[in-house]
Amino acid sequence: MHFAAKIQVAESMHKPYEYFETNTVGALNVIDQAIKQKVKNYILSSTAAVYGAATHIPLREDDPTLPVNPYGASKLLAEQILRSYQVTHNLNWVALRYFNVAGAYDGVGTDYPFISHIIPMLLDKMAKKEPIIINGKDYDTPDGTAIRDYTHVVDVARAHLLAAQKMLDGKTLNQPINLGSRSGYSVKQVADMFNKVTGANMPLVYGKRRVGDPPKLIASHARAKKMLDWEPQYDLEKIIKDHYDWFVAKKK
């Protein structure tokens, strides 16, 4: 299971070389070494960013992949490398495309040395008693803020275990699979739910769009259901509550 990667969209716009070096060349090195060690099955952490600006919703795995930032492009190339090694070395692979993973489980959360995702950002703002900053309010969406799909980290972990078991049982996958809920929420809706769950009642402040951010990314999980017998079990409210509970416990 290959989880290692650089993951910040905004940073990738300023440091594309680092993203291609780590996410593409790094993946090539790991995949090639895996083949040399006679590894037969390979699970890659991929991303919704491979799709770029969606032409329709929900996104399906056979939709066009036209990334709008180096992060998405670097991960798509890693998927293509796996497909090549399928042809040359009969490697059985799957690229699990994440859609905004969040939440926490059993005392483990996203304790990164940086903040790039919305729920950790909201927690940080709450701790600092600062307003919520929403990047962009002029997207072509009902409330003008970007819409995303959110998936609980426990659901994502379960998908990896299901994929691994299918592969160990001899099932051939050799394809990307979305891990999303098919239920999109705007940034404003996430902020409002955060205030509801935590009781923080932080004010909202609108800023400029982030470079490279598409207006909508929502996933179909039909392939995940068919190939892995997977469906998400947790909604946005549960995601925020678990993330919040972990954050509070960590501070004690």
We report the CATH number of the domain holding residue 106 as 3.40.50.720
With respect to residue 3, please indicate whether it lies within any of the assigned structural domains: no
Helices vs strands, H then E, count in the chain: 9, 10
**Structure token pair of residue 45:** 């952490």
With respect to residue 190, please indicate whether it lies within any of the assigned structural domains: yes
With respect to residue 213, please indicate whether it lies within any of the assigned structural domains: yes
DSSP calls for 11-51: HHHH-HHHHIIIIIIHHHHHHHHHHHTT--EEEEEEEGGGS
pLDDT at 54: 77
Query: CA angle 144-145-150, nearest 5°?
Result: 140
With respect to residue 95, please indicate whether it lies within any of the assigned structural domains: yes
| pTM attached to this predicted model | 0.91
pLDDT at 193: 97
- Domain containing 185 equals 9-251
With respect to residue 4, please indicate whether it lies within any of the assigned structural domains: no
**Structure token pair of residue 243:** 């993330």
With respect to residue 1, please indicate whether it lies within any of the assigned structural domains: no
With respect to residue 82, please indicate whether it lies within any of the assigned structural domains: yes
Measured between alpha carbons, how far is 214 from 198 in angstroms, rounded to an integer?
Answer: 28
Q: At what angle do helices 187-198 and 118-128 cross, to 10 degrees?
A: 50
Neighbours of 193 (CB within 10 A): 20
Number of domains present in the structure of the chain: 1
Residues 6+ away with beta carbon under 8 Å from 223:
60, 61, 175, 177, 178
pLDDT at 69: 93
| Given 19, 51, 71, 244, the catalytic residue | 71
pLDDT at 156: 97
Measured between alpha carbons, how far is 226 from 224 in angstroms, rounded to an integer?
Answer: 5
The answer to whether residue 71 is catalytic is yes
pLDDT at 117: 81
Query: What is the chain's pLDDT, residue by residue, as a tens digit (252 residues)?
Result: 999 999 998 899 999 999 999 999 999 999 999 999 999 999 999 999 999 877 788 999 999 999 989 999 999 999 999 999 999 999 999 999 999 899 999 888 887 777 778 899 999 999 999 999 999 999 989 999 999 999 999 999 999 999 999 999 999 999 999 999 888 899 999 999 999 999 999 999 999 887 767 788 899 999 999 999 999 999 999 999 999 999 999 877
With respect to residue 49, please indicate whether it lies within any of the assigned structural domains: yes
Q: Which helix (DSSP H) or strand (DSSP E) does residue 237 occupy?
A: helix 236-251
